[in-house]
Each structure stands twice: as structure tokens, then as C-alpha cells.
Amino acid sequence: MNICVYKKKKGKILPADTSYPLYVCVQYTTDVKIHTSTTYSEIFLNFLLPVVIANLCRHKSCACVLVCVMQDEVLMVQEAKRECYGRWYLPAGRMEERESILEALQREVKEEAGIDCQPITLLMVQEQGPKWVRFVFLAEETGGSLKTTAEADSESLQAQWWDRESPLPLRAPDILPLIDAGIKYRQNPWFPMLQPVDFPCQVICQRLFLTFISSNGNTDSSDEHRLWLLLRSNDATSQPSLPLAVSVNAFDTIPRAAHRLVKECVPSSSMQVHTCGILGVQHNGRIPGKTDGICFNTLVLLENSEDGPEISSPPSLDGKAYRWHEVTNQSLRAKIIQRIKEESVLPVHSLY
């Protein structure tokens, strides 16, 4: 898990929301509805959560990134580990059993840096399949004091705010893009603030919000696009549900799992699968082995390959396991397409 935390500026609200957040709701319902809150409009896409009984690895690694906006500084800790002793890195550590994602990040920041923090948003997900997942957060400092050398222990030697210009021996340069992402989001958020939802899942999996967009041929109209969602066909219930992709091995990344599911149900070889990003994250670590999985609500776009024929309707499907559902609600359709075109989703980086 990676976290970007800001020093809180008195009288300033961090950061501004975007005007079109989109979340996948965890409630069991068949309705697709628009909910308007006091601050912004949210689209809740409510589908039946599929039941999964597969068992995959729960091994997760988490890291924290803290950024001070006012001085453009980053919270860093000096490592106490033998292999990188004395070098500097972002506060980082593994989740413990029965912890939520947010509990893990706050504990790690407190242990290694000495400060309290409040998460603002997930900033990025890095992964190498279900065996290694790292959450990047943006957060703000809310209290505590920086750890000093007098408080050095096995967690860290000390902590300090880094201006990113003064020489500092880093443990590894992989944190630099994470810091840049935190500063970029603080200056100009490109997706809605997003926090993990406390909801149990047995495995590490994805609920795929798989879309297909086509033009109706009327380029003069503002409503020129049509949008379809891929749904599961469930004989046991009339309630629609989104496809569920479960990694089949420890190295099956988020894009690979989505691509494999599409290949199983779409016979056409002229289609490309584009994983846009993540709409939501669900996790509950209370019962190890039963509720400590992770479900990523992943936005995926199925589109024509460059050399493939242009089609005005979604590709045909193999079998009866899935079906296409056209989104006819104009407002809902426009907001989903906007999220896709502007890539207004939580980025996911597969490190293979």
C-alpha cells in the first residue's frame, strides 16, 4: 500500500472533488440509479455479488508515501534494515492479519515516522498478480511528531520531510513516480477521491465493469454513442451480475485475468481489451482465509483493433454464460463514457 499524506493547511479543504464520480456499490440490488449527495453526483451501479469459493494467496505488501503540499515536501524514513541501513524510503510495511487496509497504513506511518495521518484517497494500485499487491495512498498529517534518532528502533532510525532537492541517499528510485503522482493529484485531481470499502471477499478477484462503445452514425448529435455492459446470465436468479475474474495462478495480473475472461466468451480476434483502471476496492481482513480477500471493481473497455473491421454493435458471445446489456439512460451513459475517455479512474500498474 502506498500513501501520500499532506501537512494540513489551516482553513484549507483537501482536495477538491471531481464532478462525476462513479462507484460500484456493494449492495445487493438490480437497480441502476443515480444518487445525488450534498456535494456531488454519484452513480451507483448495483449488481448481485457473485459467490466465489476459490482459494488464493493473501500475501500482500503495503507502502506509504507522504507529501507536504505547503512546502512541497515528502515524508521519508531512514531504514533500519541491514540490507538498506541508513538509506531513505517512504514509510512502508506489510499488512497484518485482521487489519483493514486503512488500519495498516495508519499503523505503519505511526511506527516508522511517528506521525498520525488521515487518508485522502487511494492514488494507485501496483500489483504482480494476487501474490503481491501494493496500495498507494494520498493522505494528510493530522498529529504526532517526527521520529528522532533517540527513538530509533527496528522499524526505522528517524523520519524527516524531504524537499526533493537536497541530496538524500534513497533505498530505491521506484518511489519517485509515486511521489510525482501524489503531487500531480494534489494540484489537479484526475479521478474522484476513493477509499477502500469495508466489505468481505474470500479471494483476490475482480468484478469487471466491461464496456463496449459504438457510434450510432449521427456525428451531429451530442448523443452519438451507444454503450453496452457485459453481464452474467444467471439461471438461478433474475438479478443481473457483473462478470467475476479470479486469477488462476500467483502471477495472473489484473489485465491478464480480464483478458482471459474476454477470450473465453468473445470469439472475435479483432477485439482489444483495455483495462482502464479501478472504480472501487473492497476488503475486510477480520477473518483470515475467509474475508481477507480483495475485490477490485475494474473498468474495462472492449474495442476494435486498428486493423479490424468497424462494428456498430458489441461482438457476438460464445455460449450462454454472458449477455450484452445496452445502457439506455442518457445521463448514466454519458457519465460512464466520460470516465472512460478521460481515464478518470484509479490507475493500476502491473509490474510484470
Same domain, 213 and 344: yes
Q: Is residue 76 part of a domain?
A: yes
Planar angle of CA 62, 292, 277, nearest 5 degrees: 60
Per-residue DSSP letter, 86: T
Distance of CA 14 to the CA centre of its chain: 20
The Cα–Cα gap between 81 and 83 comes to: 6
Q: Which of 187, 218, 236 is the last residue of a domain?
A: 187
d(CA 32, CA 47): 8
Query: Based on the structure, what is the number of domains in the chain?
Result: 2
Query: Looking at 147, 163, 187, which one is the last position of a domain?
Result: 187
CATH of the domain at 332: 3.90.79
Helix (DSSP H) and strand (DSSP E) numbers for the chain: 4, 20
User: Given 168, 187, 206, which residue is the final one in a domain?
Assistant: 187
Q: Give pTM, 2 decimals.
A: 0.82
Name the E strands within 172-268.
197-198, 201-215, 225-232, 244-246
CA of residue 203 relative to chain centroid, distance: 16
Q: Are residues 80 and 178 in the same domain?
A: yes
Amino acid at position 327, single letter: V
Decide if 47 is inside a domain. no
pLDDT in tens, the chain (352 residues): 555 555 554 444 333 333 333 333 333 222 333 222 222 222 333 222 222 223 334 544 444 456 554 567 889 999 999 999 999 999 988 888 899 999 988 999 999 999 999 899 999 999 988 888 899 998 888 999 999 999 999 999 999 999 999 999 999 999 999 999 998 998 999 999 999 999 998 888 999 999 999 876 544 444 678 999 999 987 566 678 999 998 888 788 999 998 999 988 888 777 899 999 999 999 998 998 888 889 999 999 999 877 666 778 899 999 889 999 999 999 999 999 999 999 999 999 998 7
CATH code of 97's domain: 3.90.79.10
Q: Classify residue 106 by its DSSP letter.
A: H
Whether 347 contacts 138, CB under 8 Å: no
The 10 Å Cβ neighbour count of residue 298 is: 29
Q: Are 6 and 154 within one domain?
A: yes
Residue-number span of the structural domain to which 137 is assigned: 2-12+56-187
Give the ranges where 43-175 is alpha helix by DSSP (H).
Answer: 101-113
